[in-house]
A and B are shown apart, each in its own frame.
Chain A
C-alpha cells in the first residue's frame, strides 16, 4: 500500500512569508505527527493529531500550527517565517493514537529553505 506522502518535497520561501505543508497518511491510519529536523537541534516533535484533534504539542512557538481533516490528511502551517525555520519537516502516520506507542511510518519530508 502507498506510504506516507508529503508535498511539496522542496520549497524556498523568504523571511516573513508563510508556508503550508501537506501530509497524506497511510490509508487507514488516523494518527499524524509532525517533526522538524535541523542540523543543530536534530529531530524535534511539533504536534500530533488523531481524529482531527490535536493530542500533543511540542515546544514550538505559536507560528507553527496544524490541522487534520476528516480523511486524516494533515497540514502544518508556519507563519512569519524566520531563517531558523529552514529544516526538513517530517510527517509520520500511525494506525493508533500515540498512547499505544505503535510504529510510526514516516514520509520523505518537505525540505523548507528560508532566505
Chain B
C-alpha cells in the first residue's frame, strides 16, 4: 500500500508565483518522521526538512514553509515567490518506527516543479 501520496505529478508556475506541493501519508504508528527532499537534475537528494509526529508546529525557512496536520495526515510544502532555481523534483517521505524495514524512508512518487521566467 502506498504510504506516501503526492497527487501532483507535475506543476508548472511562472516565477514569483506561490506554489504548494501536497503530501498525504498513511501510518498506524504513533511515532514517525516526515521529510521533504529536493532532487535537482544532478540527481542527489537534498534534505529540506524533517518533522516528528509529536511536533505539529508549522515551520518557515526563508521562502519555504511547511504545514503539518495530523488530523488530515498531510504535510504540505509551500514555496513563496518561486524562482527558476526551485525547478526540481520534490519528494515527501515517511519513516516509521515499526515497519519491517526499520526507519527506512518511504518516498512518495515525487512532484516535478517547473518554474518559468
Chain A complexes with chain B: yes
Is B108 a contact partner of A101 (Cβ separation < 8 A)? no
Fill in one digit per residue for B79-116: 1 if any A CB lies within 8 Å of its CB, else 0. 00000000000010101000001111111111000000
With contacts A42-B109, A101-B50 known, is A56 near B44, CB below 8 A?
no
Chain B residues numbered 42-65 whose CB sits less than 8 Å from any CB in chain A: 42-47, 50, 52
Answer yes or no: A85 CB below 8 A from chain B CBs. no
Fill in one digit per residue for B3-24: 1 if any A CB lies within 8 Å of its CB, else 0. 0000000000000000000000
Interface size class of A (residues with CB under 8 A): 20 to 34
Interface size class of B (residues with CB under 8 A): 20 to 34
The total number of A-B Cβ pairs within 8 Å is 66
Out of B42, B47, B52, B105, which one reaches A108, CB within 8 Å?
Answer: B42
Inter-chain contacts of A98 with B (CB < 8 A): 95, 102-104
Interface residues of A (CB under 8 A from B): 3-4, 33, 35, 42-45, 48, 55-59, 88, 90, 92, 98-109, 111
